[in-house]
């Protein structure tokens, strides 16, 4: 799959040191001073979780009020992505219902790609 990473460049743009976080087991570049939500957006991830009923959810308010951007961070479910700063080695898992997403099970439920 081609990278959908946003290219943020420009002389006026100053970013913190680069760090590597893990998103569902995949190494992702981020920068100190960014939130998990910003790092996910930069990677093209818009749905951070699925509800118990299977509906996708993502960042809505971006300031910690709505609780729509929940992810699992370092094994702790229901962590707000918009309020959590990235740091080297952070382990982020997209959330499915009340815990980590099981992407293999979701794919099996969906059936073959069309």
Regarding predicted confidence, which is higher, 73 or 9? 73
Eight-state DSSP code of residue 85: B
Quick check: helix, strand or coil at residue 23?
strand
Question: Residue 80 CB: number of other CB atoms within 10 A?
Answer: 23
The candidate with the shortest Cα–Cα distance to 64, out of 75, 49, 79, is 79
Express as a percent the part of the chain with pLDDT over 90: 70
The structure tokens 């929940």 sit at 70
- Helix then strand then coil, in percent of the chain rounded to 5, is 15, 35, 50
Please say whether the beta carbons of 21 and 39 come within 8 A.
yes
Domain 18-110 has CATH 3.40.140.10: no
Higher pLDDT, 18 or 107: 18
Q: What is the pLDDT of residue 14?
A: 80
């Amino acid at each position: 799959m081609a990278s959908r990473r946003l290219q943020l460049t420009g002389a006026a743009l100053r970013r913190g040191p680069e760090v590597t976080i893990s998103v569902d087991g995949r190494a992702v570049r981020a920068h100190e001073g960014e939130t998990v939500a910003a790092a996910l957006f930069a990677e093209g991830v818009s749905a951070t979780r699925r509800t118990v009923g299977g509906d996708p959810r993502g960042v809505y308010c971006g300031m910690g009020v709505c609780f729509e951007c929940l992810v699992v961070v370092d094994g702790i479910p229901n962590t707000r992505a918009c309020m959590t700063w990235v740091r080297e080695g952070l382990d982020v898992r997209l959330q499915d219902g009340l815990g980590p997403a099981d992407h293999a099970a979701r794919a099996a439920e969906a059936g073959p790609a069309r």
